[in-house]
Amino acid sequence: MRIKEVNVRKYGPVDDFRLICDDVQVIYGRNEAGKTALVDAITTALFQKKSVFPGQDRFKEDKSFLLSKNVTVILEHSGKNYFFPGPLKFEQLINLPHYHLAGLFIIRAGDLSLRKDKKWEDRVKEFLSGIPANIERIKEKIGEEVDLTPSGDWSDRQPARKKTKIKEKEERVEDLLRAIEKLKLIRQKEKILKDKTGRRDNLKRKLEDIRALKSYKLHKRIKDAYLNWRRNKSFFLDYQRYLNDDLELWLKNEREKESFTSKINSCKYEIEAILKDLETMDEESLHLKKNREDLLNKKRMITAFSIDKDMADVFFSQRNISNKTSKLLLYITLGVILSVIGGILLLLSKSFSGWSLVYFVSLITGIYLLINSYFLNKLKMNLKKKKEEILEKGKKIWPECGSLNEIFTKCNSLDLEISKIESKLDYIERKKEEKLLSLKKKKEELKSVEKQLHFIDENIKKLREKTGLSSFSQLEKKLAEKREIELEIKSLEKILADSTGTDDLLIWEREAEKEVPEPDVEEEDLRIEGKIEEELSRLNEEIQSLKEEIASFVQGELGRLQIKKITDIWTELEEVESTLRHWYQDREAALLAWEILDKIGQDTEKVLLDTIMDEKKGVSFYFNLITSGRYKKVNWRKNSLYVEHSDGKIYPVDVLSSGTQDQLFFSLRLGILKRGLPEGTFILLDDAFLTSDTTRREQQVRVCYQLVKEGWQIFYFTVDEGLRDLFCRICKIKPVIL
């Protein structure tokens, strides 16, 4: 069982509080923040009383009004949700023997002690065992009811004098039995007459009751219908101002308002999008212009450095010498070989001959090749130097370029890039003009729609002033209620007309004001009214015949017995025997009940003793845990609590400190609730640990956390920051701040 949700509004200092409850809830607030009001609202809603703590009802307002309007507690139990306040009482939900046991669930600072009266103790025993615990009082009441002494004998005290009456009744039975022996001749007929007379009387009473019931039901039907008719007529006057035309007009305005609101939102969204697009275009245009200016600057630098002209010269020269320089090594090699061989051979020849000419040509050719190679190499070196100069100039413009080809590519693509940027700028300008035109149209459309929306709001405001309602749904609800009242009035008028046989309002009122008592008759008897009338007619004839036969009976015996009729002998005998039989049965039942109650008393006392002394899950366990083993166990003797110290000494509760007493009674509550509700429950703690020292505070918080792990739910309301932080640290939660 747990509290699932708490809603409190306008309750004392609490203006609006809603809490979806967890297993542990720490509600922290300063003085006058509303903690006590929250506890009071929750407990009052659950237990439907002014206050479970006498003298602590702090508000002058009518609590029932405040609860019905402003407080809702949703309790989850056995998989179902229950709303409080509601038709079901908390004590009925969990079979709580009495409302005062609600103090087990709510623990406030300075009010930890439990009630010490005998009735409260008996109710705790009844809660733990499920059976009544006030045994001696029950035995006493049973003895008083059947007039028995405590020893089990009949009592002869005034005014009952049961012992004397029993003796008189027994003597009268003997006298009647002797008379019956003498009256055997007419006994059978008397018995028949008695049975038939009794049957006739019963039927007469039943027939009268049936007719009284029919009259009562008719009157009740008229009275209920008339009262409901008057009440509904009175209600209907308050609903005259609610009209269907207003509902249709309101609905139309609401729909138009919704449509225009949607249009306004759409326009605003589109305007924002257009403005964003314009901003983006401006940024892009600025960026492109900057890039174009950079490119133009680079183009001017290229012209200033003559890079384009030098590049043309380099590539022209390179094409001319490329084929020649590719065979430079070959020319040098051949030149060296031809000149060396020609020179050597020419020097070796002793006379000029044809071969000498060949040697000379070879020498000249070799020299020519070497000279040509020299000039080609010089031209190549000049070309290389020129390239290096161009590359150096190009790096001043494009520092990232590392080769002549990259600079050449950059130069050739420069005009193309400038052209692309200018094309993009033209495109952006056209789009910008389109966007500005669209923005102007959207602003005009927004202004028009807002004007129409203002007109609709004025219409709705007039409808609110006319109906006194704040929303369309309220008017719709009022009209539905109005239709229901109209139908109810027509139905009630038909019932009144059918029941009274007239449409006269004065007759309706007169019939409704009559006072007709309700007879004690079953509904099924209405269906046998005809059969009862037929049987009564037949019984009257048979009884008359029997009376005539018995009329000649000897009056002497009847006079002796002081009996007027023969049937009275058996009637009186049956009454006396029945009385004696009932008295003796009552005595036997009372003695048996005493025996059973004695056994029950022993059982309930044992349950309470087990709950207190149980060192594993009872009061002793929790008290030992909270006091860190200082006290070993709690005992119950002669209707009083005692505690056993760790040194073996036993102390009564009264000698303990106030803080230790509070911890003991806190443990007592836990043990009782653990035994009575083993599946777990909730506890409301209103700064219940303020009187505890630091060590025992922590132990009490850890006990609470362990209970939460076992399925319990803990609410702690506090003004103490230390307790708040202690709970949050141990339970790993965040507090609710008021």
581-597 pLDDT tens trace: 787 777 777 777 766 66
Return the bridge partners of 72, or none: 7
Average pLDDT of the segment spanning 553-562: 66
Greatest alpha-carbon pair distance for the chain in Å reads: 214
Under the banding of pLDDT at 50, 70 and 90, the label for residue 727 is: very high
List of residues 6+ apart from 309 with CB closer than 8 A:
none
In this prediction, residue 182 carries a pLDDT of 67
Under the banding of pLDDT at 50, 70 and 90, the label for residue 96 is: low
Strands 640-645 and 631-637 turn out to be: antiparallel
Q: What are phi and psi of 627, to 5 degrees?
A: -90, 10
Is 433 buried (19+), middle (13-18) or exposed (0-12) by CB count in 10 A? exposed
Per-residue pLDDT for 385 more than 50?
A: yes
- Phi/psi region, residue 692 (left: phi>0; alpha: psi -120 to 50; beta: rest), is beta
- Measured CA angle at 310 (ends 308, 313), to 5 deg: 115
Which H/E stretch holds residue 715? strand 713-718
Mean pLDDT over each residue of the chain, to the nearest integer: 77
In this prediction, residue 55 carries a pLDDT of 45
In this prediction, residue 729 carries a pLDDT of 93
CA distances in angstroms from 397 to 297, 407, 511, listed in the order given: 9, 9, 116
CA distances in angstroms from 40 to 54, 263, 481, 639, 706, listed in the order given: 12, 50, 35, 32, 26
Strands 650-652 and 640-645 turn out to be: antiparallel
CB < 8 Å & 24+ apart, contacts of 473-479 = 475/242, 475/246, 475/247, 475/250, 476/247, 478/239, 478/242, 479/242, 479/243, 479/244, 479/247
Under the banding of pLDDT at 50, 70 and 90, the label for residue 619 is: confident
Q: Of the candidates 680, 683, 726, which has an alpha carbon nearest to the alpha carbon of residue 701?
A: 726
CA distances in angstroms from 33 to 29, 57, 197, 589, 737, listed in the order given: 6, 17, 78, 60, 9
Is residue 372 within 8 A of residue 331, CB to CB? The reply is: yes
Is residue 289 within 8 A of residue 392, CB to CB? The reply is: no
Which tens digits make up the pLDDT trace of 403-462?
A: 777 777 777 777 788 888 888 888 888 888 888 898 888 888 888 888 888 888 888 788
Per-residue pLDDT for 188 more than 80?
A: no
What 3-state class would DSSP assign to 158?
coil
Per-residue pLDDT for 56 more than 50?
A: no
Under the banding of pLDDT at 50, 70 and 90, the label for residue 185 is: low
Per-residue pLDDT for 143 more than 70?
A: no
CA distances in angstroms from 424 to 238, 291, 296, 386, listed in the order given: 72, 12, 16, 38
Per-residue pLDDT for 32 more than 50?
A: yes
Rg, C-alpha atoms of the chain:
57
In this prediction, residue 23 carries a pLDDT of 93
In this prediction, residue 131 carries a pLDDT of 45
Which tens digits make up the pLDDT trace of 311-363?
A: 666 666 666 565 555 555 666 677 677 777 777 776 776 555 666 676 677 77
Which of 197-201, 335-339, 376-380, 466-470 is the most confident on average? 197-201
Is residue 577 within 8 A of residue 173, CB to CB? The reply is: yes
CB < 8 Å & 24+ apart, contacts of 171-176 = 172/572, 172/576, 173/573, 173/576, 173/577, 173/580, 175/561, 176/561, 176/569, 176/572, 176/573, 176/576
In this prediction, residue 518 carries a pLDDT of 75
How far, in Å, CA of 258 to CA of 252, rounded?
10
Strands 682-686 and 106-108 turn out to be: parallel
DSSP 635-652: EEETTEEEEEETTS-EEE
Strands 713-718 and 682-686 turn out to be: parallel
User: pTM to 2 decimals?
Assistant: 0.40
Average pLDDT of the segment spanning 385-400: 72
List of residues 6+ apart from 299 with CB closer than 8 A:
414, 415, 418
The two tokens of residue 345 are: 């051979």
The answer to whether the peptide bond before residue 517 is cis (omega within 30 degrees of 0) is no
Per-residue exposure over 148-165, b if at least 16 CB sit within 10 Å of its own CB, e if not: beeeeebbeeeeeebeeb
What 3-state class would DSSP assign to 679?
coil
In this prediction, residue 717 carries a pLDDT of 93
In this prediction, residue 493 carries a pLDDT of 81
Is residue 675 within 8 A of residue 611, CB to CB? The reply is: yes
How far, in Å, CA of 678 to CA of 693, rounded?
30
Under the banding of pLDDT at 50, 70 and 90, the label for residue 554 is: low
In this prediction, residue 159 carries a pLDDT of 61
